[in-house]
Structure 1
Amino acid sequence: MPSSTPSLVSKCTVFPDRNSTIGDLKLSVSDLAMLSCHYIQKGCLFNLPPGSLPFHSFIPLLKSSLARTLSLFPPLAGRLKTDSDGYVFIDCNDAGVDFVHVTATGFFIHDLLAPPDVPESFKEFFAFDRKVSYCGHVSPILAVQVTELADGVFIGCSVNHAVTDGTSFWNFFNTFAQVFRGVDNISKVPDFRRESVLISEAVLRLPEGGPKVNFNANGPLRERIFSFSRGAIQKLKARTNNRRRTGNHNGDVINALELTGKQRNDPFQEEDRIVRSRVKSAVAETGEISSFQSLCALLWRAVTRARKMSASKMTTFRMAVNCRQRLEPKLDQYYFGNAIQSIPTYASAGDVVSRDLRWCAEQLNKNVKAHDDATVRRFVEEWERNPRCFPLGNPDGASITMGSSPRFPMYDNDFGWGRPVAIRSGGANKFDGKISAFPGREGSGSVDLEVVLAPETMAGLESDSEFLRYASSFLL
């Protein structure tokens, strides 16, 4: 790797180009639970095509585009505040966001993507490293860092996790790219209404000075990106559903429909709601286990084997689910804020490694299918009886937490330089067993998993024959 280190060129505050007309927004149950989490850190790596403008010419254009985008997302330019009763709000006061310009021309894109492990350098491509979301009372809710590389650019966004979840985060990022390209008609307008069961009268009592992360953020870890092609995913799903890929007509139809539904992350395909409806109907009728649940089951088995735990040890696989369309009445699909809940699935290490792949996938599938409106409301009621921040981490050494989603439109962020080469994250919210799912760059239902594990567990995963039958390293 190059020996040079990133160097700060400039830092400033960017304000919305229009005054906010939105009042205070009360944090929801899902928002409040994230006050002890780090800011979300996700970014896009781009090639700069030959003949592009000099890099310094992009900076004022990015700032002005950000200012226009903030006018569409006023909460991001605000600050958190707590009233005398203990309720926490977003004050949409146009206080502005941080914009940071960094140069790191000692780094080439290939240098960053070639090593098997994700380089520590990516942590330097984000502002607000390991900043806790409660700090949004005094710090900006958003920071954008633009890092100039030898042959490309990295745009990294750090956003307060008590203000956004992944759906809201990527809607902002996509809109920022569209505004920069000069798109006038922004179709994915965020919905700031606070009218659902997620808005509670319960008060979260916090310690003086605010909450802290409840995991060791400095433990020894390794991080790798494993890629799963369309073909590998189809083979895995066919195996999970105990059939040959060509031996079940209904299964083949569902595979095709599910794949088409996922292609809304592929810039060469348009979103088709009718297709997704047919997918859900077909899956319900046949009891099919989805591609993603199949992939999660594969990971659960491989990581559990690598941890070499006793058969009686209870393991946990947590999956974050979007509650927007699970609630009745449904929330707007672009509801701005956190609308997520964590579904835990429990099984002994002995069962996970000795039973077949389908059994593991079925445990996940049952919990996801059961998470309906009544379950969402029950989770809210349980939180109201005991308001608390989300206990992120892996205290017993037997947990896996799956975050993000391969359905997020990460590769739709085209600033005029073409699609991103890769998606990467910073050092936020990382611990042994933290997994993040990204769409594969090739689209068509491919998936990348960002896997963070203890070094000895990663070594076991790297030699797991079942896992390696389907996974490959990220390739440029």
Structure 2
Amino acid sequence: MKLVTEFRCGGVCVAWSFDHLVMDGSSLWQFMCSWSEICRGLSISMPPTHDRFFEQQHEQFSSITPTSSLSYVFEEVSNGMEAKIFEFDDGTIERLKFLASGSFSAFEVVASQVWIALCKARHLPASQKTSHQLPLNCRSRLSTPLLAGYFGNCVFCALAESTAGELVTGGLPFTGAVVHEAITRSNPFSKGVTDGVDTWGGSSPRFPMYSLDFGWGKPAAVRHATKLWNGFCFYDPSPRGGKAIEVTVFLPPETMAKFSEKVKTN
């Protein structure tokens, strides 16, 4: 579904929604980039690939048919949640990398800083187990890598786990190593999110959100309209460019006030 709104000031807002059963974030932004290229009269730079060759290579897929019965239970998870955006600019990220004392990516140190701050803001006991589930694009991680334009789903959750005490005491060097190991071991795993304890990540700073141009110029801002559950974080690129990352965090108001102070790095 797409919706275009024109404002009196001359600005334009393009909004859309999609079903995650149809595509993942990589495919969504491939579609959006293709749409913007068509609007500018250009050829699509990355045509979609709908080849499902892996279904033919792996026998377990043969048992999945369109008539397989599936059931879903949807719950209202956004009641009482507050959304706030925190920007980590290039200077802040370099400072976090220095404090982490390791060869960690910008995403890894930002996710680590957010996770530590959430443990503090929630006043979790030192012995409390906590996890940060992070989206993992597996297109290039398969034994037979998917083609660049593969359109569909190929994303899993990397599960970083520890105790609140270890994260807070160990700081960025320890937490960065936990996050890095979860991402690099390529061992997708997912579990339910414990309210007020765990953290869930979505989106990616690598998505080309600010490359979109429908003929009006690059976007001034790209935002998530749907509020999600306690502790959900969207990790997005910043309109500033560079390595800057915007993190949209969903928390109850009382926790958000504490988190806003704890996540500061200066």
TM-score, scaled relative to structure 2: 0.91
Q: Does 1:439 align with 2:254?
A: no
Q: CA deviation at 1:200?
A: 2.2
Distance 1:447 1:218, change over 3 A: closer
Question: What is the CA-CA distance between 1:343 and the residue it aligns to?
Answer: 1.1
Change (3 A) 1:202 1:435: farther
Unmatched tracts of structure 1, length 5 or more: 1-142, 243-287, 380-389, 471-476
Q: Give distance in 1, aligned partners of 2:138 and 2:215.
A: 33
Distance 2:91 2:204 in 1: 19
SS in 1 for 2:91: helix
Once the two structures are TM-superposed, the CA of residue 446 in structure 1 deviates from its matched residue by: 0.9
Corresponding residue of 1:452: 250
Q: Select the residue among 310, 315, 324 that pairs with 2:125.
A: 310
User: 1:391 Cα shift?
Assistant: 6.3
Contact 2:195 2:230 in 1 (8 A): no
1:218 shift after superposition: 4.0
Do the aligned partners of 2:131 and 2:199 also contact (CA within 8 Å) in 1?
yes
Which of 388, 392, 410 is the matching residue for 2:209? 410
Amino acid at match of 1:351: E
Residue deviations 1:433-474 (CA, integer Å, cap 9, x gap): 11011111111111111111121211111122xx2126xxxx
Q: What is the deviation of 1:344?
A: 1.1
2:7 pairs, out of 137, 144, 149, with: 149
Equivalent of 2:98, from 238, 244, 247? 238
Give matches, 1:457-472, under 5 Å.
457-464=255-262, 467-469=263-265
Distance (Å, rounded) in 2 between the aligned partners of 1:312 and 1:334: 45
For 1:153 and 1:231, the matched residues in 2 are separated by 31
Cα pair 1:400 1:434 within 8 Å, conserved:
yes
**CA distance in structure 2 between the aligned counterparts of 1:311 and 1:201, rounded to whole angstroms:** 47
Change in CA separation of 1:453 and 1:182 when aligned onto 2, cut-off 3 Å = same
Greater Rg, structure 1 or structure 2?
A: 1
Partner of 1:90: none
Name the counterpart of 1:399. Answer: 198
Contact conserved, 1:306 with 1:460, CA < 8 A, in 2?
A: yes
For residue 369 of structure 1, report the CA deviation from its aligned partner.
Answer: 1.2
| Aligned match for 1:212, one of 51, 69, 73 | 73
Q: 1:350 to 1:414 in 2, by over 3 A?
A: same
The answer as to whether partners of 2:133 and 2:199 remain within 8 angstroms in 1 is: yes
Equivalent positions of 1:329-368 (< 5 A) are: 329-368=144-183
Change over 3 Å in CA distance of 1:202–1:396 after alignment to 2: farther
Aligned residues with identical type, % of pairs: 31
Give the letter aligned to residue 370 of structure 1.
R
Q: CA deviation at 1:356?
A: 2.2
| Aligned-CA RMSD value | 1.9
Whether contact under 8 Å (2:34, 2:45) holds in the other structure is no
**1:187 aligned to 2:48?**
no
Structure 2 counterpart SS, 1:424:
coil
- For residues 301 and 447 of structure 1, the distance between their equivalents in structure 2, rounded to whole angstroms, comes to 17
Kindly provide the amino acid, as one letter, of the partner of residue 293 in structure 1.
E
Give the CA deviation at 1:156.
0.8
Letter in structure 1 aligned against 2:198: S
Deviation readout 1:170-189 (Å, 9 max, x if unpaired): 11111111111111x21211
Name the amino acid aligned to 1:332. Answer: L
> Is the contact between residue 167 and residue 334 of structure 1 (CA under 8 Å) also seen in structure 2?
no
Where does structure 2 lack aligned partners over 5 or more consecutive residues? Answer: none
Residues 50-74 of structure 1: CA deviation (Å, up to 9, x unaligned): xxxxxxxxxxxxxxxxxxxxxxxxx
Aligned counterpart, 1:174: 33
Q: Tell me the matched-pair count.
A: 259
Question: Partners of 1:202 and 1:230 in 2: how far apart?
Answer: 48
Q: Which amino acid aligns with 1:469?
A: T
- Deviations along 1:284-324, whole A, 9 cap, x unmatched? xxxx2212111111001001100012211110100010000
Q: What is residue 200 of structure 1 aligned with on the other side?
A: 61
Partner-residue secondary structure (3-state), 2:141: coil
- The one-letter code matched in structure 1 to 2:35 is F
Residue of 72, 85, 88 corresponding to 1:228 = 88
Deviations 1:30-86 (A, max 9, x none): xxxxxxxxxxxxxxxxxxxxxxxxxxxxxxxxxxxxxxxxxxxxxxxxxxxxxxxxx
What amino acid is aligned across from residue 70 of structure 2 in structure 1? L
Provide the secondary structure at the position in 1 that maps to 2:217: coil
Query: CA–CA distance in 2 between the matches of 1:442 and 1:366?
Result: 29
Give the whole-Å Cα distance in 2 for the aligned partners of 1:216 and 1:317. 21
Q: TM-score, normalised by structure 1?
A: 0.52
How far apart are 1:233 and its partner, in Å? 1.0
CA 145–416 in structure 1, closer or farther in 2 if over 3 Å, else same = same
Q: CA deviation at 1:328?
A: 1.5
Given that 2:116 and 2:171 are in contact with CA atoms closer than 8 Å, whether structure 1 keeps it comes out as: no
